[in-house]
Amino acid sequence: VDEDSTPLAALTTFRVGGPAQELVVAATEADLVDAALDAWATGEDWLVIGGGSNLLVADDGFDGTVLLVRTAGFEVLASESPASDRVRVRVAAGEPWDDFVAETVLRGWSGLEALSGIPGTVGASPVQNIGAYGAEVSDVLVAIEFLDSATGERVRLDAGDLELGYRTSVLKRGRRGVVLSVEFELAVNAGDVRVRYPQLAGSLGVELGAAVPAARVREAVLGLRASKGMVLDPADFDTWSAGSFFTNPIVSAAFAETLPHEAPRWAVGDEPQRVKLSAAWLIERAGVRRGFSLPGSKASISTKHTLALTNRGGATASDIAELARYVQVMVLARFGVSLVPEPILVGEFPA
């Protein structure tokens, strides 16, 4: 690794991580394709970075080429009929996610308003099927344009090919390549949208299921997220994070019976044998509180949200990884549940 190159800390929201061997910034789709094909031809390791908001990069950095996606723009695809109440939009991978969401709300399109304020890029949105406040990108995603590293070919993958699930997809599970653009189908002039999440309904002062303008949903979501440190703010260390560090564990219904009855649990789709637990509840009840840090460490649990691990300024990737392991050990010892990290770990972490 070339020590003179830019540390990847500058490109991630955790603000940790050593340099990449090589960094290529791609501002057009053609450059992105060329850069990817060049990197793959070397046979060396490579990594795509968008907003760096779901990455924990090791202090020693990344021994390979980083493709930094900075493509921009979107196009409205011809709708099937002029009277259609749906619109299809194809968005460049490098477009900042929340800029795009804001634009859709301004145009009176609905479907993405509950996903307001999530950091990162459009191209990363299918990778872990981003979700918040009762919505997931899979609700409105139609297809992606994908440069497949196995073949070097550009293919269109429909939503069904992506196996989008709770914070996962084939892209997160190992199908490698570059998302070049994402196609969404949204409602046009839909008027009001239904509020599907209790906390959101509470903040809007309406009943669950009530219909309110998408713009009001966006404002309420941004407010709720900011109060939890879930909107990027350089002045707030609680946002020097990757958002939630652990996914909510999905366990068998039989196992869930062994937990204290007050442990929150939710149904998983229409699978009666499986239930989703609250990672935040498990962590708190295992004795790890908001603001907690290990002695001498500059990494801590967010003061606003138990699920976020944060850099208080000057933390190393090892500090964050150590805190993550501590949380995992505490929850495993107390409840027998293994918490799975949500962000992607890049580079070498000491065992």
Regarding 340 and contact with ligand FAD (CB under 6 A), the answer is no
Residues in the chain: 351
Residue 261 is encoded by which pair of tokens? Answer: 């009855």
Regarding 317 and contact with ligand FAD (CB under 6 A), the answer is no
Q: Stretches 129-137, 158-166, 191-199, 214-222: which one binds ligand FAD (CB under 6 A)?
A: 129-137
Q: Which residue's beta carbon is nearest to the bound ligand FAD? A: 120
Task: Using CB under 6 A, pick the residue from 92, 135, 230, 330 that binds ligand FAD.
Answer: 230
Task: Using CB under 6 A, pick the residue from 17, 131, 249, 347 that binds ligand FAD.
Answer: 131
Q: How far is the CB of 191 from ligand FAD (least distance, A)?
A: 26
Regarding 69 and contact with ligand FAD (CB under 6 A), the answer is yes
Q: Stretches 21-29, 124-132, 291-299, 330-338: which one binds ligand FAD (CB under 6 A)?
A: 124-132
Q: Stretches 46-54, 206-214, 279-287, 314-322: which one binds ligand FAD (CB under 6 A)?
A: 46-54
Q: Would you name the residues annotated as active-site residues?
A: 167, 244, 342
Q: Stretches 72-80, 236-244, 260-268, 287-295: which one binds ligand FAD (CB under 6 A)?
A: 236-244
- Site track 281-310 with ligand FAD (rule: CB under 6 A), x = hit: ------------------------------
Q: What is the 3-state secondary structure (H, E, C) of the chain?
A: CCCCCCEHHHHCCCCCCCEEEEEEEECCHHHHHHHHHHHHHHCCEEEEECCCCCEEECCCCEEEEEEEECCCCEEEECCCCCCCCEEEEEEECCCEHHHHHHHHHHCCEECCHHHCCCCCEHHHCCCCCCEECCEEHHHCEEEEEEEECCCCCEEEEEHHHHCCECCECCCCCCCCEEEEEEEEEEEECCCEEECCCHHHHHHHCCCCCCEEEHHHHHHHHHHHHHHCCCCCCCCCHHHCEEEECECCCEEEHHHHCCCCCCCCEEEECCEEEEEEECHHHHHHHCCCCCCCCCCCCCEEECCCCCCEEEECCCCCHHHHHHHHHHHHHHHHHHHCCCCCECCEEECCCCC
Regarding 242 and contact with ligand FAD (CB under 6 A), the answer is yes
Regarding 328 and contact with ligand FAD (CB under 6 A), the answer is no
Regarding 178 and contact with ligand FAD (CB under 6 A), the answer is yes
Regarding 124 and contact with ligand FAD (CB under 6 A), the answer is yes
Regarding 118 and contact with ligand FAD (CB under 6 A), the answer is yes
Task: Using CB under 6 A, pick the residue from 50, 61, 111, 249 that binds ligand FAD.
Answer: 50
Task: Using CB under 6 A, pick the residue from 104, 241, 310, 311 that binds ligand FAD.
Answer: 241
Task: Using CB under 6 A, pick the residue from 8, 22, 46, 54 that binds ligand FAD.
Answer: 54
